[in-house]
Amino acid sequence: MLKQFKVPLLINLVALVASYFIWGVSGVVTVAILTVLEVSFSFDNAVVNAKILGRMSPRWQRIFLTIGVLIAVFGMRLVFPLIIVALTAHIDPISALALASQHPSEYAKALTGAHIAIATFSGTFLFMLFMDWLTEEREIHWLEPLES
């Protein structure tokens, strides 16, 4: 089983070493925290995805895993934040990428300026997920009075 994790662990180790040489100890701590956060979110998503994948045909499972991973990794972690900053700062996504890579403090200021819009979207999305969970038909009820 450890054999499957060799490449990801190697990439993580390279990232930790690189962050030390670029940002020092604070960079290593930041990368370590983000790694733990990403792994915990990934396990959570894996449970949900497994439930969905169990109902799909093998063809759609392959499509879901291929396209879904591309969207999750590149879309939601690279493209989506750039688009949010681009829209809220009224610049194009390429300029947002240049801003993020060349002027991180200005990018941070633009992202902080978009905090209300991002928090509103995120809160609405989480509320929709909660309402879906609350109204879903299931055999086991954890919060019986609230769910009924």
Angle at 117 between CA 116 and CA 120, to 5 degrees: 85
CA distance 134 to 75: 28
pLDDT in tens, the chain (148 residues): 678 888 888 998 999 999 999 999 998 999 899 888 888 887 777 788 888 888 899 999 999 888 988 888 888 888 888 888 888 888 888 988 898 889 989 888 888 888 888 889 889 989 998 888 778 776 766 667 766 6
CA distance 119 to 43: 24
| Dihedrals phi, psi of 115, to nearest 5 degrees | -55, -45
CA distance 38 to 12: 12
pLDDT of residue 49: 82
- pTM, 2 dp: 0.54
